[in-house]
Structure 1
Amino acid sequence: MSNTGVATEELGKTAVRSSSGGWRSARLIICVEMAERFAYYGISTNLITYLTGPLGESTASAAANVNAWSGTVSFLPLIWAFIADAFLGRFRTIIISSSLYVMGLGLLTFSTMIHSQELQVTLFFCSLYLVAIGQGGYKPCIKVFGADQFDGNDIKEAKAKSSFFDWLMFGNCITILTSQLVSSYIQENLSWSLGFGIPSVSMLLALFLFLLGTTSYRVITERGGKKNPFARISRVFVEALKNRKQTDVDNLKENLLLLPHQDSKEYR
């Protein structure tokens, strides 16, 4: 069977199909994704309630803050995707962003225990946007990294890749529903510290599980000799700019050559 474009570990060793990737790694990544989804929806579902309750904001102000944060969460994956593809790679990006994610959730939980209203609000928003930064790096990489565990040129593994996305989606749906029900109940009826603390532990578990499979992952460094698409696109723009400048110079020279000779005594 063809093995073109097989994953290469970043330490320079060629990945061996029998001992890396496949369902052995993919199952772990599904569990990682479920734990992360539980953490994310555990804090995002009830943000307006927390802002209008313990933090004392108006409904309009709370909605505006949540919308601004949601927009940031949606935008940051674009930046992180570029960083991952151009510099860090998906594996390193997931580890770095997940660490920031855990740190943000931990600070978010800690902010609920502070008695000073001003300090509590400041720490809350700082930690909330740290969560956005971490989630922005994690989100665009984890699913693709899971797909990297299967060789698309192998018929059996190509079919397994399709099944991977099916199980990933199923697991996410179950986890999101569970997180919204459990977290909302705990936050509104028991404690906000506990309600934010459980998602923090869930994300810490996600990071632990991901690191647990480090030796079994197929980490793509290059596929089929193709270079980074963002680098190719940027070079296209650079070349286009150079060509435009050169065209302008050529047009100027051509126009000067076409200017009619003016034999006027006025300039003698």
Structure 2
Amino acid sequence: MQGLVLLALSQLVPSLKPCDEVSCQQVRKVHEIIFFVGMYLVSIGTGGHKPSLESFGADQFDDGEAAERKQKMSYFNWWSCALCAGVLLGVTTIVYIQDKVGWGVADIVLMCIMGFALVIFLAGRLVYRYRDPEGSPLTPMLQVAVAAVAKRHLPNPSSASQLYEHTASGSTTKRLLPRTNKLKFLDKAAIIEHKDDESAFTWQKVSPWRMATITQVEETKLILAMVPIWLACLPFGMCVAQVSTLFIKQASSMDRKLSRNFELPPASVFSLAAIGMIISVTLYEKVLVPFLRKATGSERGISILKRIGIGMVFATAAMAVAAAVERKRLNSLPSSLSICWLVPQFLIMGFGDGFALVGLQEYFYDQVPDSMRSLGIALYLSVLGAASFLCSLLITVVDHLIQQTGKAGWFGKDLNTSRLDLFYTLLAGVNALNLCWYVYLASRYSYKSVQARVGTAYSDDEDDVESRDATLDRP
């Protein structure tokens, strides 16, 4: 909120207002400093609260209760709808205030809205469910790697009885993960050494850098298994980046008059994507999921990775449609094409967001270890951030390679001399090829499973006990 205050001051305080006169160079410099500090504060605040707030909201639901588990599946859908509703108001009402009244007034309105939201959030602090901090979530992963390397000479364990699981005499409430058969090398980190020699081995003196638990090993496997999925989602993120950049650039060069007295601001076209996402999420939650639950008997209806894959199909189609529309716009020059031609690509991309973006949020929250859920949402956001950088790199490389052949680049200062249609076609092709790779990865992916209660192969008193806990598969 401090960033919005500075942005408002940079527009309203006379001594900080930008100026075009030669004598105002120093004032303009002060304005730039205040303005960019405000922008960076907004960015820092968004990066801090967005992943934490979303995971905190999901933590309000108990995975151990079937009813609350289903409610949490719906939570990500309605969270995304709420965000889209905010985007819809932002690119329509706020943009209108900026154009017709002033940027300073718009910043004040946003500041008041943020203040009201903060009051609402703090009002519920006494009824929230809080997760106790468990230390750094990355340290156990590093301990697993060190322990596995230290015991690399030991043979791979043939059964879980050779592996250690710390249960704190049954007092811990931490959800435990059963052993899986993937990345078996890491299992060596949990191998019990010198178990028969009590003088050489005691549970109390064992170093966590020498002995990891089965759960710690499986948590490390979960993170490593996410890396290929994260990489496979980058092309989709590149498509998402076009909606707020080149799509808007297209809109600015088209006929935006909806009536004789009203011209649609270019930024307001983004509302079409938000509308598409709201429609797709609502249909998914109210129609598709209930039908699939009855048809398949699955609690979720459709697996998370399948949902993401459907969104990728929509994104590929949106790029193909965008290429066709841009080609038609270029062929219609010098007359301007109606902005209504952009409706299909925005809506289709919005439908894709409703499947893939919400699916990514749920995937990175649900499949990471319990202690890393805020970091999991950050991983989801990193897909979009890394994809934006990757898209910029692709534009630079493609433009350079084409100019090396002596031809005009695809990206000029004037959109009418650019070839965005070819760039959209390239993105559609890249996403189509990536979709094949993604389907292969998704078909081989093993979802996280947890145990309903504490109980493992070993306890602190070294008794070999059989687990009596039911394992809940989490698709």
Report the TM-score when normalising by structure 1: 0.48
TM-score, normalised relative to structure 2: 0.28
Determine which structure has the larger helix proportion and give its number. Answer: 1
